[in-house]
Structure 1
């Protein structure tokens, strides 16, 4: 791969440690993109780093059973549980004994023995059916990728470790957060649509990024979490000599079957 800080074109800048001899397929590449998944900016900055064991891509699919509450179990749960388990009958026997009734006697026109036999028929029965246990798909959040990127210094900790780490933080954090009050923004925002935008939306969201690893490319994505173990080893100047950065990336939108198929077959994905 290219040496740190160098690239294949004059406008391309690769921030990375030196990993001579390591397959390109084992190097993750992160770069800025626009909301269509296309590379953003004239200066093509990329951060390259290998992914250590433990990285995974996961999708959470929300399935719910909305008809569960339509069964008799939900209307009188304690009574239904006693009928199904057979726990109701011993309690009724105690009730009969209190009044001096037996299975051969009756209370008015009620046949206690018949009542006991009918109650016993409920044992082991359930109100759950295929209909009221049917699940429906209620949506899914974007697909997430959890990775740990490794940077280490071969000759220059500032260039091989500090520079790519700083760039990852720059992409993860908002590009700009306004420090002015609403009144100050309204007074100095200007006229027209630009003035309204500057007044109401003065800050700039974090940079969208693309993620390429092995035969897959996903873009646009966002950096949801980033970690920096501040106890990592350093050199005499205070720069990290080796550090592992945990990242959680997420697609900008949820993906469907066709999106995943395109990503698998062509090695790239864009939500647009």
Structure 2
């Protein structure tokens, strides 16, 4: 049986270097293609954002019993001036103590130490470009519409409540989870393949230029693609191994 030919939806990029043309295609969790369709486009803007969360859980250690206002008065030297108005021996002693605390703080390297809390999924912010030289439908509309389909759920069930479905169909995975989620994608760009990713946000510029038939002749498509999970070193090496 002859192997099915891959369907490529793209604009005409002429002799543009292949490394500058991004390829987007559906995959499973193991990175295998699930459809013989590829969308190719140029990214006018792109950046990969990795966010690691650190926190200082001990930053208030030693200061819980001291009010913030008192700490500010001590460090700024305002407390010394306030106590100068107190008469008597104890007032003078307190004034000298307050003067000695001027410029001091309870913050130390120990209680300001940050600890690793976690990672957010990686974010790939891109702006895909489609533009037509000869056929706006094939070069702009078809590749854009394919991206929109990949971003949307495959199917959302019109069935009612879970209880009603269980009474009607009995307990099964189809009755419990009747809808199909959006597909996972791989993005190959400039020698790196980022996967598995999903389209979290996609924008259609309805003010883009059109021809006399109302077809878009150019579309810039901002997208936010994110990984399914936070990534570690092995995942990043997997991205850039190509």
**TM-score, structure 1 length as denominator?**
0.83
Indicate the residue corresponding to 1:270 in structure 2.
none
Distance change (3 Å), C-alpha of 1:89 and 1:57: same
Indicate the residue corresponding to 1:246 in structure 2.
222
1:153 paired to 2:144: no
Match of 2:176 among 180, 183, 200: 200
Q: Which runs of 5+ in 2 are unaligned?
A: none
Indicate the residue corresponding to 2:160 in structure 1.
181
Matched-pair contact (CA < 8 Å) for 1:73–1:127: no
Match of 1:93 among 74, 81, 84: 84
Match of 2:58 among 67, 89, 94: 67
- RMSD in angstroms over aligned alpha carbons? 1.7
Instruction: List aligned pairs for 1:123-134, cutoff 5 A.
Output: 123-134=102-113
SS of equivalent residue, structure 1 residue 238: coil
Distance change (3 Å), C-alpha of 1:10 and 1:60: same
CA distance in 1, matches of 2:53, 2:90: 51
Match of 1:26 among 16, 20, 26: 20
Deviation string for 1:207-253 (max 9, x for gaps)? 10111001100121111100000011112222111110111111122
SS of equivalent residue, structure 2 residue 22: strand
How many residues are aligned here? Answer: 239
State the Cα distance separating 1:184 from its structure 2 match: 4.7
Deviation string for 1:190-209 (max 9, x for gaps)? x4xxx522222111110101
State the Cα distance separating 1:254 from its structure 2 match: 1.3
CA distance in 1, matches of 2:207, 2:130: 14
1:211 paired to 2:187: yes
Matched-pair contact (CA < 8 Å) for 1:31–1:47: yes
State the Cα distance separating 1:111 from its structure 2 match: 4.0
Instruction: List aligned pairs for 1:107-126, cutoff 5 A.
Output: 110-126=89-105
1:47 paired to 2:26: no
Q: Which runs of 5+ in 1 are unaligned?
A: 1-8, 268-272
